[in-house]
Amino acid sequence: MDATGLPWAAQCAGMAFSAFSLCVVALAVVLLLVRRWPWCSCHVCRAYLTGSWAKDFTNLGDWYAHLLRESPTGTVHVHVLGCTVTANPSNVEYMLKTNFDNFPKGKTFSAVLGDLLGGGIFNVDGDAWRHQRKMASLELGSVAVRSYAYKIIAQEIDARLIPVLAAAADTAAVVDLQDVFRRFAFDTICKISFGLDPGCLEREMPMSKLAAAFDAATRLCAMRGAAASPLLWKAKRLLNVGSERELRNAIKLVDELAAAMIRERRKLGVANSHDLLSRFMASAGEDAVDDKYLRDIVVSFLLAGRDTVSSALTTLFMLLSKNPAVAAAMRAEAGANGGDASSAAATYEHLKGLHYTHAVLYENMRMFPPVQFDSKFCAAADVLPDGTYVSGGARVMYHPYAMGRMPRTWGADHGEFRPDRWLTGAGGSFVPESLYRYPVFQAGLRVCLGKELAITEMKAVAVAVVRAFDIEVVGDSSNGACAPKFVSGLTASIRGGLPVRIRRVKK
């Protein structure tokens, strides 16, 4: 033993492990450089590796949009990532519909998100995906579920969202609207999906351990996907160091809290319950599904129902702050009481007739889609409709953020927030674009099953808030020429939040 009291053998073992760890990390770096850097000196790859793109562009998505606008086909290669990136609607339709089976999520994608999403619907292909999608389609298409969900949305708006914003208006406080919408969406999706209430949007604004752990896990998984080589994060995971150690701890907490939710749901019983988890358990047979399967469903619901809705609502009110005439037009369309004088939330039927508000939501998501890009993998070598060759096993990314910024699709005014571009039907009614030109909700066989529910929720919130309040963005985000800076993640999130001042609308 030495002065520390540790046996020499233990010290030697520790030193050997440290040396081994350093060698593995060094080997990963060397392999990265050998595989990538010397063999590709194109300006795109060097800009990505060095980060020099950030000198001219606020976000990585803006840089991709620039590259894709400059490309004659709307498609570019980022060799250092082994990835083909496209904003060409013909390619998107080919991948998501025409030759769907040749463009699965793939094992590489599943590995990146597997620790978090497990075998959930967003992370699997083949029979496992078809089974979950069939069940989800039956439940989300149910009139009973939609009615149940809208009652929860309306209650959350009346009991929590509007009072929180009213308190901020009365005290002239600056609040982070992104945080408010995240809390609202988290409470809502937990009630709809699990029949449980985390109470994140109570006046005291309590922190949710599950929400915080989920935020960390999605952010760190996104870092994996952005790595120039999977060897880097795999080496860190093997050694349990850095971001991979943080990710492991976050997922452990997600697992524990998801398990607690499932236990509580089993304890309360699933009979006569309308929440999605209960209906999944009942339709599959409560004793026929294991907790791991249910855990993956819980995490998938959280990813689908919280971050996307809160992201879209945040950018919506950022744009309305800069375009008060649009907010005024929404207010005029909604009317004095939104269809129900006893509630801040409009009735479901009233919302369906608000074509201008619908157009505003779609225009917002054209410019700021909650999911800015989506990756597939090419199973067998293929040629995309624009003539781009893709080798077998290569990654192919379609980019909704860039697609909303393509003049060949949206015209010379693609950079302008103009809801009227959607009102081309009889009497100025809303007319949707092809989902392959506007893949905000994906398209084809993987089109988002919760699309209608998400739009209804966003519409209800937008109408209730616009009718009662004027929202003014403060700080750097208030500059009309200043584009929001997004945090790297699975869904779009504004770095630093969205600080706003709230004023009551004068009656």
Q: Does residue 448 have a known ligand-binding role? A: yes
DSSP 491: S
279, β-bridge pairs = none
The pair of structure tokens assigned to 490 is 């699975």
Q: How far apart are the first and last CA of the chain?
A: 81
Burial of 147 (0-12, 13-18, 19+ CB in 10 A): exposed
Using a 10 angstrom Cβ sphere, with 0-12 exposed, 13-18 middle and 19 or more buried, the burial of residue 488 is middle
Q: How far is the CA of 241 from the CAs of 19, 26, 175, 235, 445, in angstroms?
A: 14, 14, 36, 9, 39
Q: Retrieve residue 131's tokens.
A: 């089974």
Q: Which of 322, 321, 400, 327 is nearest to 360 (CA)?
A: 327
Q: How far apart are CA 503 and CA 171, in angstroms?
A: 10
Tokens of 450: 């919760």
Tokens of 174: 């600056």
Q: Per DSSP, which regions of 285-388 are E strands?
A: 374-377, 382-383
* Interatomic CA distance for residues 334 and 350, integer angstroms: 8
Ranges assigned E (strand) in 335-465 = 374-377, 382-383, 389-390, 395-398
Backbone angles phi, psi at 347, to 5 degrees: -70, 155
Q: Any idea which residue has 């993998």 for tokens?
A: 377
E strands along 108-225, which residues? 175-176
The pair phi, psi for residue 192, each rounded to 5°, is: -65, -40
On whether the CB atoms of residues 90 and 385 are closer than 8 A, the answer is yes
Binding residues: 448
Binding residues for heme: 448
